[in-house]
Amino acid sequence: MNIVKLSDLSVAEINELVDEAIAFKNGKKVDYHLGKVVANLFFEPSTRTHYSFDMAAGNLGCRTQNFEASNSSLTKGETLYDTCKLFESIGCDALVIRHKEDDYFEQLKGLNIPILNAGDGKGNHPSQSLLDLVTIKEEFGSFDGLKVVIVGDVKYSRVAHSNYDVMKRLGMEVYTSGPVEYKEEGYNFVDFDDVIEDMDVVMLLRVQHERHGDTSGFSKEDYHKKYGLTLERYNKLKDSAIIMHPAPVNRGVEIADELVESDKSRIFTQMHNGVFARMAMIHKVLDNE
């Protein structure tokens, strides 16, 4: 099986993955993936996703191969499909793939190896959504009725697209906010300042300059003042509210520098939980083979 979009999974399957990740965090061990090989194929830059998939595979007893796009036969014109087919042919058991094209996995239908999507363009980021859900479940115990606002470059964000859909399916009340240039058609769009006091989760996003260039015309200071989590906005949050961000963070833009590690911030907890969420994903696809 593949995990390329959470929308392919039922709510029950998503809840099972969240609970499995929490079980791994609490010490669950599996020993039957020893010797399996997971290839990490990052055709687009990554720090968190790449190295936490690598850590997750190692924790399950797998070996990993880490592909370097800039030093590969891609530079000689080899296609995405042929590159992935190579890793299948040399004996890998699963592929973790990030690529800049939306739905790149549609080109890989001829492969006979599980694919874990580590991010496709502005489309999907299932492992990020899963680690976000793990972080929320740990904090609140359940999802139903929680209020979430996703703030920033929603239109070009695969994190926003994955989360908006899955959070709604899990019963959360999901809002988006930020510059109108980055508003996603059909999404519930609000003024950040109108809702901040009621939110359980504030999820901040980086402006995805690499996908569109800077079209907003805002200076960093302007953006921070109008749409960022300033200290003033932080002080309006409910006592129980948490702040999330998929990272990398632009300190002083979408969030004030001093708030990145504040009491309500779960940004580094998200990164920690990413290892367990990815263990659950790798375990699920290898277990299905």
Residue ranges that bind ligand CP, judged by CB under 6 A: 46-50, 119, 128, 246-248
Query: 178 with 192: CB under 8 angstroms?
Result: yes
Q: For residues 66 and 188, which CB has a smaller minimum distance to ligand CP in the complex?
A: 66
Name the strand (E) or helix (H) holding 167: helix 158-169
Q: Which residues of 127-144 are buried (b: 16+ CB within 10 A; e: fewer)?
A: bbbbbbbbbbbebbeebe
Q: For residues 114 and 274, which CB has a smaller minimum distance to ligand CP in the complex?
A: 274
Q: For residues 178 and 246, which CB has a smaller minimum distance to ligand CP in the complex?
A: 246
Chain centre distance of CA 198: 24
**Shortest distance, CB of residue 202 to ligand CP, whole angstroms?**
17
**Shortest distance, CB of residue 158 to ligand CP, whole angstroms?**
8
Name the strand (E) or helix (H) holding 164: helix 158-169
Q: For residues 47 and 73, which CB has a smaller minimum distance to ligand CP in the complex?
A: 47
**Shortest distance, CB of residue 47 to ligand CP, whole angstroms?**
4
**Shortest distance, CB of residue 27 to ligand CP, whole angstroms?**
25
Q: For residues 118 and 146, which CB has a smaller minimum distance to ligand CP in the complex?
A: 118
Copy the structure tokens of residue 272: 């920690």
**Shortest distance, CB of residue 118 to ligand CP, whole angstroms?**
7
Percentages helix, strand, coil for the chain (3-state, rounded to 5) are: 45, 15, 40
Query: 128 with 49: CB under 8 angstroms?
Result: yes
Query: 84 with 42: CB under 8 angstroms?
Result: no
User: Are β-strands 115-120 and 94-99 bridged in parallel, bridged antiparallel, or unpaired?
Assistant: parallel
**Shortest distance, CB of residue 144 to ligand CP, whole angstroms?**
26
Q: For residues 74 and 271, which CB has a smaller minimum distance to ligand CP in the complex?
A: 271
Query: 65 with 87: CB under 8 angstroms?
Result: yes
